[in-house]
């Protein structure tokens, strides 16, 4: 089993574990969903996920797919991002805490370890923070060379 294969299995396992920890029945459909995200290179829109799931489960509705995506992101299995063309999801990087720079053109994502959270001034004391995300949007070095007027 190659390293990539091992990572895939691990990601699927983590997603499945998170679901069962929440008391979800682990159906084939949910396993397929986990597999889809484990295999995905980048971000998937709800429509991408729906199109893919529909091939295997012709009866599945867009609403069901969308609801599952929302629930999975609420439980921290998926991360959701608002990119140029709408909401996208991807498997959460489980390994450790980090943040992302995202190219608004090609959606290439660069992670960085520095966490600015401890330098955010004047947050209300009485707010109990459970989690946070920090995303920087811009153009990667490849896309920065291209003319942008046409794309905005």
Residue 107 to residue 87: CA distance in whole angstroms: 12
Residue 141 to residue 69: CA distance in whole angstroms: 31
Q: Would you say domain 3-91 falls under CATH 1.10.10.10?
A: yes
Question: Which residues make up each annotated binding site for Fe cation?
Answer: 97, 132
Q: Report pLDDT digits (tens) over 30-48.
A: 899 999 988 887 889 999 9
Query: Could you state, in order of their start, the residue ranges of all structural domains in the chain?
Result: 3-91, 99-151
Q: How far apart are the first and last CA of the chain?
A: 43
Residue 16 to residue 42: CA distance in whole angstroms: 20
Could you say which of 1.20.1600.10, 3.40.47.10, 3.30.1490.190, 3.60.70.12 is the CATH number of the domain covering 99-151?
A: 3.30.1490.190
With 60 as the cut, is the pLDDT of residue 14 above it? yes
Question: Which residues make up each annotated binding site?
Answer: 97, 103, 106, 132, 140, 143
What per-residue confidence (pLDDT) applies to 52? 95
What per-residue confidence (pLDDT) applies to 6? 67
Q: 99-103 and 135-138: which strand pairing? A: parallel
Question: Which residues make up each annotated binding site for Zn(2+)?
Answer: 103, 106, 140, 143
What per-residue confidence (pLDDT) applies to 107? 84
What per-residue confidence (pLDDT) applies to 151? 46
Topology agreement, domain 3-91 and domain 99-151 = no
């Amino acid at each position: 089993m190659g390293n990539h294969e091992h990572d895939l299995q691990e990601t699927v396992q983590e997603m499945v574990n998170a679901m069962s920890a929440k008391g979800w029945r682990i159906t084939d459909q949910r396993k397929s969903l986990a597999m889809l995200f484990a295999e995905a290179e980048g971000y998937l829109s709800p429509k991408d996920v729906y199109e893919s799931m529909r091939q295997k489960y012709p009866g599945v509705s867009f609403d069901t797919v969308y609801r599952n995506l929302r629930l999975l992101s609420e439980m921290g299995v998926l991360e959701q991002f608002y990119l140029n063309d709408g909401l996208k999801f991807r498997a959460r990087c489980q390994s450790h805490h980090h943040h992302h720079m995202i190219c608004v053109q090609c959606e290439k994502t660069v992670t960085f370890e520095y966490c600015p959270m401890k330098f955010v001034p004047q947050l209300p004391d009485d707010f109990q923070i459970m989690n946070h995300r920090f995303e920087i949007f811009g153009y990667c070095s490849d896309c920065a060379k291209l003319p942008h007027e046409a794309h905005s």
